[in-house]
Amino acid sequence: MIFENHNPLEGKVFQILDKTGKVINEKYYKDIDSDLLLKMYRCMVLSRIQDEWALKFQRQGRMLTFPPTLGQEGLQVASMAACRNDDWLVPAFRSNAAWLYKGLPMKNIFLYWCGNEMGSKIPEHINMLPVAISIGTQFSHATGIGMSFKYTKEDKVVVTYIGDGGTSEGEFYEAINFAGVENAPVIFIIQNNQFAISTSVKSQTKAKTLAQKGIAAGIPSIKVDGNDIFAMYFATKEAVENARSGNGPSLIEAVTYRQGPHTTADDPTIYRTEEEHLDGMSKDPIIRTKNFLIEKGILTEKDETKMREECKKIVFEEFEKVEQEKVTPLEDIFKYTYEEMTENLKEQYEEAKKWEGGRN
Which residues are marked as active site?
258, 262, 271
> Which of the 8 DSSP states describes residue 327?
P
166 CB-near residues (< 8 Å, 6+ apart): 92, 135, 136, 139, 172, 190, 196
Sheet with 250-255: strands ordered across: 88-90, 158-163, 186-192, 250-255, 221-225
CB 68 within 8 A of CB 54: yes
Helix (H, G, I), strand (E, B) or coil at 66: coil
Cα separation of 187 and 201, whole Å? Answer: 22
Cα separation of 315 and 310, whole Å? Answer: 9
CB 187 within 8 A of CB 239: yes
312 CB-near residues (< 8 Å, 6+ apart): 49, 53
Nearest to 167 by CA among 125, 225, 214: 214
Cα separation of 216 and 305, whole Å? Answer: 47
DSSP string over 149-183: HHHHT----EEEEEETGGGGSHHHHHHHHHHHHHT
- Residue 352 identity (one-letter amino acid): A
CB 139 within 8 A of CB 172: yes
Angle at 210 between CA 109 and CA 292, to 5 degrees: 60
Cα separation of 158 and 75, whole Å? Answer: 16
